[in-house]
Amino acid sequence: MSEKEIEFPDGLIVKAPNPNAPSFVKASISIKVADLGVWLRGKHKAGEEWVNLDIKEAKSGKWYAAVSTFKPKEKAAPSRGGSSVVGKGAVEDDIPW
């Protein structure tokens, strides 16, 4: 999904924190329960167990939430080629320490 195809969650609004908010407040989020619930149920019906959102800032300065499309690369399975020699005569087995 390209940046032009951003999916926004229905019923969720993100705002920059109030200027008078303490420094530990990073964002303000408003949820319209009925709309977000319908949107989430649609995701569940599509087989998604989790929905990850990114909080972003538009060029205009307005904050928003968008569905994250990040997919981690699959790690290659470790090879099980037997033991290998490490150092002077030491043999490394699959010992965890």
pLDDT in tens, 28-80: 999 999 999 999 999 999 999 999 999 999 999 999 999 998 888 888 776 66
Q: Which of 74, 46, 61 is nearest to 7 (CA)?
A: 46
pLDDT at 72: 84
pLDDT at 86: 58
Query: What is the reported pTM?
Result: 0.65
Rounded distance, CA 21 to CA 19, Å?
6
Residue 92 and residue 84 in contact, taking contact as beta carbons nearer than 8 Å: yes
pLDDT at 15: 96
